[in-house]
Amino acid sequence: MPPLEPARRRALRAKAHHLDPVVTIGHHGLTPAVLHEIDVALAAHELVKVRVIGDDRDAREDMLSRICGELGCAPVQRIGKLVVVWRERPAEPPAAQMSPTRAAEPSTIRRPAAAAKAPRRVPRTPLPRRRRGA
């Protein structure tokens, strides 16, 4: 993925400020399972914050370059042990390009007529008022 323009990177950093880390890379390093979880998170959210456990700064840089190389994402920000990466979500096909059977299917999630009615409320009886000075 080509590097981000400074204005785009600034906007993504602002959006990532409020995010919590979604994936943590532990002492086993960047395993295929961790890469898969980052890939799933990027597909769902586009912008992901990852926490890297470890004190070796060079190892964290290597992990970031490996993540970006294997998953096709762009680095947005590195602050200490936190890394923010971004990958644009692929465009969804319009409804016209969907298969005709899926586009023509009606929604099958419907409630029965009896279950659609709200339960009746039972009126409350007012409590007797207390008298002052009694």
87-125 pLDDT, tens digit each: 998 777 665 555 555 555 555 566 566 555 666 777 778
**How many residues can be counted in the chain?**
134
In 1-134, which residue ranges form alpha helices assigned H by DSSP? Answer: 6-16, 32-45, 57-71, 100-104, 113-116
Residue 28 DSSP code: T
Residue 75 within a domain: yes
Tokens 């295929």, residue?
32
pLDDT tens track for 48-64: 999 999 899 999 999 99
Domain membership of residue 45 (yes or no) is yes
* CATH number, position 20: 3.30.110.60
> How far apart, in whole angstroms, are the C-alpha atoms of residue 42 and residue 89?
8
Full-prediction pTM beyond 0.75? no
Domain range spanning residue 70? 6-86
**Rounded Cα gap, residues 107 and 88, in angstroms:** 30
Count of the separate structural domains present in the chain: 1
Residue 63 lies in a domain: yes
